[in-house]
Chain A
Amino acid sequence: MERAVRHFQEELEALQVRLLEMGGLAEERVRAAIHGLVTRDSGVVEKVLRGDEPINELHIEIDNRCFTLLALHQPMATDLRAIVSAVKINTDLERVGDLAVNIAEAATRYAMHPPVKRLIDIPQMGDIAQAMLHDALDSFVRRDTRLAQQVLDQDDLLDGLKTQVFRELLTYMLHDPGTVEPALDLILISRHLERIGDHATNIAEDVIFMVSARDVRHHPPARS
Chain B
Amino acid sequence: MSNPTTRVPSLAGVAARAGQPAVDQPPKIEADRLNFFYGDSRALQDISVRIQPNVVTAFIGPSGCGKSTFLRTLNRMNDIIPGTRVDGRVLIDGTDVYGAGIDVVALRQRVGMVFQKSNPFPKSIFENVAYGLRINGLAGSRSDLEGRVEQSLQHAALWDEVKDRLHDSALAMSGGQQQRLCIARALAVQPDILLMDEPASALDPIATQRIEELIYSLKNTYTIVIVTHNMQQAARVSDYTAFFWLGRLVEYDRTDKIFTNPGEKLTEDYVTGRFG
Contact = CB atoms under 8 A, between A and B. Distances in A.
A3 B259 contact: no
Given A3-B157, A67-B260, A73 B235 contact: yes
Contact of B256 (A4, A5, A8, A71): A71
B210 A3 contact: yes
Contacts of A4: 206, 209-210, 212-213
A44 to B, nearest CB: 36
Assign chain B's interface to a size class.
Answer: 10 to 19
Nearest to A72: B235
B235 A74 contact: yes
B236 interface: yes
A50 interface: no
A77 interface: no
B232 interface: yes
Assign chain A's interface to a size class.
Answer: 10 to 19
A68 B235 CA distance: 10
Interface of B is mostly: helix
B255 interface: yes
Interface string B232-256: 1001100000000000000000011
Given A71-B235, A73-B235, A7 B216 contact: yes
A73 B236 contact: yes
Nearest to A69: B256
Contacts of A1: 206, 209
B76 to A, nearest CB: 32
B70 to A, nearest CB: 23
A6 interface: yes
Nearest to B256: A68
- Which residue, of A1, A4, A8, has the highest number of chain B Cβ atoms within 10 A? A4
Contacts of B213: 3-7
A71 B260 contact: yes
A1 B212 CA distance: 12
Contacts of A72: 235-236, 255-256, 259
Given A68-B256, A68-B260, A74 B232 contact: yes
B52 to A, nearest CB: 18
B210 A71 contact: no
A203 to B, nearest CB: 26
Nearest to B18: A14
Contacts of B256: 68, 71-72
Interface in B178-203: none
A31 B48 CA distance: 57
Contacts of B260: 67-68, 71
B14 to A, nearest CB: 15
Contacts of B210: 3-4
Interface string B149-160: 000000001000
20 contacts: A1-B206, A1-B209, A3-B157, A3-B210, A3-B213, A4-B206, A4-B213, A5-B209, A5-B213, A6-B213, A6-B216, A7-B236, A67-B260, A68-B260, A71-B259, A71-B260, A72-B235, A72-B259, A74-B235, A74-B236
Interface of B: 157, 206, 209-210, 212-213, 216, 232, 235-236, 255-256, 259-260
